[in-house]
Amino acid sequence: MPEKVAVYPGTFDPITLGHVSVVKRALIVFEKLIIAVAKDTQKNTFFSFEERFEMLKEVFSDEPRVEVMKFEGLLVDFMRKVGSKVILRGLRTVSDFEYEFQMALTNRKLDNSIETIFIMAEEQVSYFSSSLVREIAKLGGDISLLVPPPVIKWFERKLKR
């Protein structure tokens, strides 16, 4: 029987404890999770593509069932390349669902063999976003309760420049 593999795409700028919660919950359902760090994004990212990729590799270095990969272009093309049929998306709020629903239907239109699964982050880490974390860090606030420990070091290095 083939391994159940899902792909969790995103910019992860930076990865938050909400993202980590979604990963942990997904590993209950899937045997392997590929975290696909997106290069092509409409967002003006704080961390570079390479920094985001390396940060995620560091955060999940102790989890053998998580593989961090880079991707650019259409997600459905990446899905075909890695041989997965399941896109994993995390939900924080109802407003997230509207956008995610639109993306899921668009991906299904591009390749109807691919399904999107939504997993909610645990409630204690579901209320904040990567953009909120960036804002707090840039203003010198404490983000230690919002991100995995390695991310704090990434911010310290970046903000010293």
What stretches of the chain show up as alpha helix (H) in DSSP?
A: 17-29, 49-59, 75-82, 94-110, 130-138, 149-160
Q: How far apart are CA 96 and CA 15, in angstroms?
A: 17
Residues classed as catalytic? 19, 43, 92, 130
Determine whether 144 is exposed, middle or buried from the number of CB atoms within 10 Å of its CB (0-12, 13-18, 19+): exposed
Tokens of 12: 């992860």
Q: Which residues contact 117 (CB under 8 A, 6 or more apart)?
A: 6, 26, 29, 86, 87, 88, 89
Q: Which of 126, 96, 109 is nearest to 25 (CA)?
A: 126
Q: Is 116 in contact with 107 (CB distance < 8 Å)? A: yes
